[in-house]
């Protein structure tokens, strides 16, 4: 998984489904994907021992979205 060209982690599962969560089948075409963030890759940017969950939730709330590309 890359963010602005910097590797932050890997893709875990495609598609990713949470048990008990009903996915809507419509023309939305969004596919949930599990990503595994590698915290050590963020330490240089965030300093110290970052609270990855808090930072990711903040980014998602501000509109962070992803897209899949074929690996070469």
pLDDT digits (tens, 9 = 90+) for 6-25: 788 888 877 766 676 666 66
Matching residue, tokens 């050590």: 40
Phi–psi pair at 36, nearest 5 degrees: -110, 105
On the question of a cis peptide bond just before residue 15, with omega within 30 degrees of 0, the verdict is yes
Are residues 35 and 6 in contact, defined by beta-carbon separation less than 8 angstroms?
no
Best CA proximity match to 11, nearest among 31, 41, 29, 33: 33
**Residue 61: pLDDT above 70?**
yes
The domain limits of the chain are 2-61
């Amino acid at each position: 998984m890359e963010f602005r060209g910097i590797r932050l982690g890997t893709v875990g599962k495609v598609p990713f489904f949470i048990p008990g969560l009903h996915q809507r089948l419509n023309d939305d075409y969004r596919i949930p994907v599990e990503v595994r963030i590698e915290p050590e890759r963020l330490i240089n940017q965030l300093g110290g021992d970052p609270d990855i969950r808090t930072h990711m939730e903040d980014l998602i709330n501000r509109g962070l979205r992803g897209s899949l590309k074929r690996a070469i």
